Chains A and B, each alone.
Chain A
């Protein structure tokens, strides 16, 4: 297929997944802000912005991280390329460009999300509750994903969509966990405290994974179990292991269809081997933050490889 078409599909997926994550982040932030502040020397919202790498652009435009501004910034602000509004708009625009590569169901889902966004933007903010907004985002993200899974031909376009989804999701899971690092581990003596566990639960809840977690592990919520669940467990839909395996799988299908292996497959396999070879102990020995930072960098490097190989149109 056209490299540009593959690129558009890949970005539809990345933008939809990113919007989903941003909505979840808002959920985490607002929940954490509802419980008594652990210390007061660092705003939870600020930490959240730090973890997602959006702190600087936020500060430039809004100054202090108060909740209402954060909501504006993460949800409605078209100047913020990662806001829900920007992501939905960009996903729909990419969809419009590659209409011919989508089924009408997928286009409908993308277009409906966009049209409803327009309506939301016209609604007075006082009538919009945060929880309603986040639900709305997750519902549309799921509808697009569902339409893709249910109706799209299993061709290379489908693979590039999934590659986009898994790349973004892996990166986002790592970043969400890193919020926990920024927000929740200000002082070593909190580790293992009731507050610590409550905060882990909040994170799980934001990822919609609380019940799944309890089914899988049972008992207390501990940092080790969470790390296992969100990094290593191949049953967890958002774990780094699941995302890496998804990347390997879809890249392998591309390689098979095209009859040749590239650096992209090589890098994806290395990423998966890295995750599969890890243990919770080793991760905590290295430091969770350090481990996640490394994963984010490796995943970005893989993204670059995919871009250079398939999406840039430079392949010979």
Chain B
């Protein structure tokens, strides 16, 4: 499989990367080590670390940061932006539909089973339309590239996509370390993200809220691996970072406990799962969450972002139908393509998957973070066979995709500079308007030849540039 190098083509350098060729050539080894150490120290100092669930070890582990940026031309980005916004609109239209009349199911365009029997479908919000008809306010869309003009969506994240702090902090650190690069290249800024996010959240305040809405970020707490991100966003937006214990329900509203007494909360940007929102509604055994919150939400006393139930749109089995959603709701052809996907729950697909297993990537329908997946070509015969047994046991739990030749970007490695595979997660904001900052999180598989970019599996991050026209 020929793989696409985003910088070098043959002996030439692709235009967006033109100035980086000189930059890296002019950087002596010592300076590079020095800068790398400086970057790491900066990351550690601001406290942006990443704890991997279930792995124990150092809770203060850093995600490796690679200084070699990933660059998009204005034209490339323009197309991506259109495609991403289109997808975010379709996903939200889908959510409003399936919690309403379910037209797309009645029309036979997606099996009702996949939606209504989905664990992520919340009966509790059936019949409810959130303010501005938005369920997923921050849509993180994972995109891979295989050629100059070939982009594929790997998965959608409609609940609470994380990683945006890396987009913001990577940029800060690059600007601090290499100001010249930013003078020489005209790079679109990303620091408008927090203001756009605040506006998006404020725009979906409940109708009952008069005046400037009070927005909060709800975090599971400082032991959570993404806590730094929660606190950074709260800080940048100038809103309170709350835990469940800080909120309570009284009358028709939700309140936070402050030193001055209760203060009404209008919009909750939650970074916790549906199951932990309200023990009265979801998990009666749990003391986490805010008892009575869902009743307040359903009666329009508070907005919750993403809306409870949004997860049904980013399920890996539903993913297959997103292009269908684009056609059905928007009457447009999808700009971004899906990766061809086989549903192991379908007999024909299963047969094909089991036949071609060593060539395919197989994922759990509800899995995330690169866990419980098989990358056929990278696995031993034994591993493939063990995975085969798991698929046969519960086919509905798996989907399979071809192994894509992910594009690569030059990356600093021990021996110098070498291509490493990357993906991209832009963050699309959906409120009164749909907005996208020019950039995103580029994750890089630091191991040679590896296609797994998840930070929990040894992936790193890069600054993502979008050049101005």
Contact = CB atoms under 8 A, between A and B. Distances in A.
Interface of A: 1-6, 93, 96-97, 99-100, 104, 107-108, 111, 156, 160, 254, 258, 310-311, 313-316
Contact of A100 (B241, B256, B262): B241
A86 B260 CA distance: 31
Given A313-B245, A315-B259, 7 more contacts: A4-B243, A258-B260, A313-B246, A313-B257, A314-B257, A315-B262, A316-B261
A108 B45 CA distance: 7
Contacts of B260: 258, 315
Contact of A258 (B234, B243, B259): B259
Given A3-B246, A93-B222, A111-B47, A316 B262 contact: yes
B154 to A, nearest CB: 32
A107 B259 contact: no
Given A99-B47, A99-B235, A100-B235, A2 B257 contact: yes
Contacts, number: 59
Interface in B44-65: 45-47
Which 5 residue pairs spanning A and B have beta carbons closest together? Answer: A313-B257, A100-B235, A310-B259, A3-B257, A97-B222
15 contacts: A1-B258, A2-B256, A2-B259, A3-B258, A4-B257, A96-B227, A97-B222, A100-B234, A100-B241, A111-B45, A111-B47, A254-B259, A315-B260, A315-B261, A316-B262
B246 A2 contact: yes
Contact of B242 (A2, A107, A156): A2
B435 interface: no
Q: Quick one: which of A1, A6, A160 has the most chain B CB within 10 A?
A: A1
A6 B256 CA distance: 13
Interface of B: 45-47, 222, 227-228, 231, 234-235, 240-243, 245-246, 256-262
Contacts of A314: 257
A191 to B, nearest CB: 47
A96 B47 contact: yes
A254 B246 CA distance: 20
A254 B222 CA distance: 27
Contacts of A104: 46
Contact of A4 (B227, B228, B245): B245
A47 B246 CA distance: 42
Given A4-B243, A316-B262, A99 B231 contact: yes
A179 to B, nearest CB: 35
Nearest to A7: B259
Nearest to B219: A97
A313 B67 CA distance: 45
A156 B222 CA distance: 22
Given A93-B222, A100-B241, A107 B47 contact: yes
A1 B47 contact: no
A240 B453 CA distance: 59
Which secondary structure dominates chain A's binding surface? helix
A267 B257 CA distance: 23
Contacts of A258: 259-260
A254 B257 CA distance: 16
A156 B242 CA distance: 18
Contacts of B234: 100
A5 B231 CA distance: 12
Nearest to A6: B259
Nearest to A312: B257
Contacts of B245: 4, 313
Contacts of A5: 240
Contacts of A3: 246, 257-259
Nearest to B262: A316
Contacts of B231: 99-100
Contacts of B261: 315-316
A316 B246 CA distance: 14
Contacts of B256: 2
A316 B261 CA distance: 5
B63 to A, nearest CB: 17
Contacts of B241: 100
A84 B1 CA distance: 59
B222 A2 contact: no
Contacts of B227: 96
Contacts of A6: 259
Nearest to B242: A2
Nearest to A3: B257
A97 B224 CA distance: 11
Contacts of A2: 240, 242, 246, 256-259
Nearest to A94: B222
B438 to A, nearest CB: 26
Contacts of B259: 1-3, 6, 156, 160, 254, 258, 310-311, 315
Nearest to A5: B240
A1 B258 CA distance: 5
Nearest to A259: B260
A294 B259 CA distance: 29
B216 to A, nearest CB: 9
